[in-house]
Amino acid sequence: MDEQMDFEKKGEEQVTSVSEESTEQETAIETCDVQEKDQQDKKMKNLISVVILLSGLFVGSLFVDVSQLVRGSGYSQKNLNKSDIFSANGKTWVAYDAPAVPVRVLNDDTCDKCDPSEVLVWLRRVMPTISVEKVNLNSAAGKELIAQFDIKTLPAFVFDPNVEKTELFAQAKDLFAAKNGQDVLNGQLLGIPVGKYITLPEISADDAIVGAQDAKVKVVLFSDFQCPYCKTFYPAFRAVMNKYQDKVEFAFKELPLDSHPQAMDAALAATCAQDQGKFWEYSDKLYAAQAEWSNAKDMTYFKNYAALLKLNTADFNKCLDGKVHQDKIDASKKEAANFAISGTPTVFVNDQFEAGAITPDQLSKDIEAQLAK
């Protein structure tokens, strides 16, 4: 009897326990259902927010398109993509595949010869996407450009690296010199005349020099002994040199051009004569006899001229055969290149620059103008 009661009691406890567990499971299930419902509600709200945002952007874009067209204030990207040319505010705009190319133009407003306008017209024809910033020589930005890119002549053109993506650069890469992450246009190779020299060639002790070293006027000649124009100009230079040597310092710098096969040997011979104090006499002979030695196959003529001028031929021949002054002439050629000098004769009268065989009167006029300052 007692055992039966215990069994029934235990049975009731188990039923109660099972009932409680079922209730807990139902509660747990209800709780999960609520969490899932909350998550779904959140997803729906997020989705609605995204739709509203995208709709707003679309409507806003459409509004910009319509409003810009109505007001004539501009064009949206969608409309720009439909045409390569359009007009707005009295201007016609054209689309190009080339990138925008900023260029800084270094100039001196007081120098009439430095005006870059004609060059810029040409540049815009071949590179229509350039945007120009003019920089004055004496401004802080101008001085920074001069120092950063070692600029010696005006006008100067410093291009953004985007120029390397243009058709002009692909066809004429040699016109540009890469410096400090930018591209500097070599105007002289392009045929742009030098308007002004910022710095001047320095007269060194190795140069052939005549005149007062402390003179305020310096005349520097770059010349090639085989150049026919140099032969024409040289007597004028010598005459003016003799006239002004008590007031002016004159210097001769060798610039043998690659187009003249005997010019380098002639320059070497003249510098060997300079070792013996007869540079000018030897130069006189070289120019006077230019037609004689220009087609020679060896240096016999140069050695004969040394004997004719009563130089120590042993020392002269040793100097010439050993090309003792090759480094000096190479340095003179490099200096000329740094000043964008590619032709001869070229003469500086302080910062006045003359190219070609000018007359004695013109050279004298340039000197007088500098002496009067």
184 and 243 part of one domain: no
- Looking up residue 308, the CATH number of its domain turns out to be 3.40.30.10
Percent pLDDT > 70 in the chain is 78
Tell whether 90 is covered by a domain: no
Is the distance from CB of 158 to CB of 103 less than 8 angstroms?
yes
pLDDT for the residue 193? 83
Measuring CA to CA, which residue among 184, 166, 164 is closest to residue 175? 184
Q: How far is it, in rounded angstroms, from Cα 193 to Cα 154?
A: 9
Same domain as 165, residue 277: no
Number of separate domains in the chain: 3
**Least confident among 146-150, 192-196, 293-297:** 192-196
Yes or no: say if 61 and 76 are a contact pair by the CB < 8 Å rule: yes
* Same domain? 70 vs 125: no
Q: Which pLDDT score, from 0 to 100, does residue 48 have?
A: 59
Question: pLDDT value at position 362?
Answer: 95
Of 190, 223, 175, give the one whose Cα is nearest residue 336: 223
Over the chain, what is the mean pLDDT? Answer: 84
Query: For residue 88, is it within any domain?
Result: no
347 and 232 in one domain? yes
Q: How many CB atoms lie within 10 A of CB 130?
A: 22
Establish if 89 belongs to a structural domain. no
What pLDDT was estimated at residue 228?
A: 96
At 306 the pLDDT is: 98
Confidence of residue 56 (pLDDT cuts 50, 70, 90): very low
Mean pLDDT, residues 245-272 taken together: 97
User: Is the peptide bond preceding residue 128 cis, with omega within 30 degrees of 0?
Assistant: no
Residue bearing tokens 């020589």: 137
pLDDT at res. 19: 46
Is residue 349 in a domain? Answer: yes
DSSP 17-84: HHHHHHHHHHHHHHHHHHHHHHHHHHHHHHHHHHHHHHHHHHHHHHHHHHHHHHHTS---HHHHTT-S
> How many of the other CB atoms lie within 10 Å of CB of 77?
9
Among the candidates 149, 168, 197, a domain finishes at 197
- The pLDDT tens digits for 325-371 are 999 999 999 999 888 888 899 999 998 888 888 999 999 999 999 99
Q: Is the pLDDT of residue 14 over 60?
A: no
- Of 167, 197, 227, at which residue does a domain stop? 197
Please check whether residue 298 lies inside any domain of the structure. yes
Domain hosting residue 214, numbered range: 208-371
Q: How far apart are CA 233 and CA 329, in angstroms?
A: 21
Same domain, 115 and 14: no
Residue 326 has a pLDDT of 97
Residue 360's pLDDT is what?
94
Considering the domain architecture, whether residues 221 and 354 belong to the same structural domain is answered as: yes
**Is the model more confident about 264 or about 82?**
264
Is 23 within a domain?
A: yes
Nearest to residue 344, comparing CAs of 219, 252, 257? 257
Q: Out of 51, 79, 107, pick the residue that ends a domain.
A: 79
Residue 169's alpha-carbon distances to 19, 126, 180, 293, in angstroms, are: 89, 10, 18, 42
Task: Give the per-residue pLDDT at 29.
Answer: 41
Distance CA 297, CA 364 (A): 39
Contact 362, 354 (CB under 8 A): yes
Poorest-confidence range of 37-41, 78-82, 125-129, 206-210?
37-41
Indicate if 53 and 102 belong to the same structural domain: no
pLDDT in tens, 115-170: 999 999 999 999 999 999 999 999 999 999 999 999 988 999 999 999 999 999 99
Co-location of 258 and 163 in the same domain? no
For residues 285 and 223, state if they share a domain: yes
- Is pLDDT at 181 greater than 90 in this prediction? yes
Contacts of 18 (CB under 8 A, 6+ apart): none
Q: Where are the beta strands (DSSP E) in the chain?
A: 85-88, 91-94, 101-107, 130-136, 153-154, 156-159, 176-179, 182-185, 196-197, 208-211, 217-223, 248-254, 346-349, 352-355
| C-beta pairs of 140-143 under 8 Å, 24+ apart in sequence | 142/106
Cα(356)–Cα(118) distance, rounded to whole angstroms?
23
Please, are residues 289 and 252 in contact by the beta-carbon 8 Å criterion? no
362 plus 215 within the same structural domain: yes
Q: Which 8-state DSSP code applies to residue 206? A: T
Q: What is the CATH number of the domain that holds 170?
A: 3.40.30
Please indicate, yes or no, whether residues 121 and 68 belong to a single structural domain of this protein: no
Name the amino acid, one letter, at 241. Answer: M
Reading the block at residue 36, the tokens are 């899932």
Residue 291 lies in a domain: yes
Taking the C-alpha atoms of residue 231 and residue 291, their distance in angstroms, rounded to an integer, is 10
Instruction: Give the pLDDT band (50/70/90) at residue 187.
Output: confident
227 and 306 both lie in a single domain? yes
| Buried-exposed string 282-302: b where 16+ CB fall within 10 A, e elsewhere | bbebbbeebeebbeeeebebb
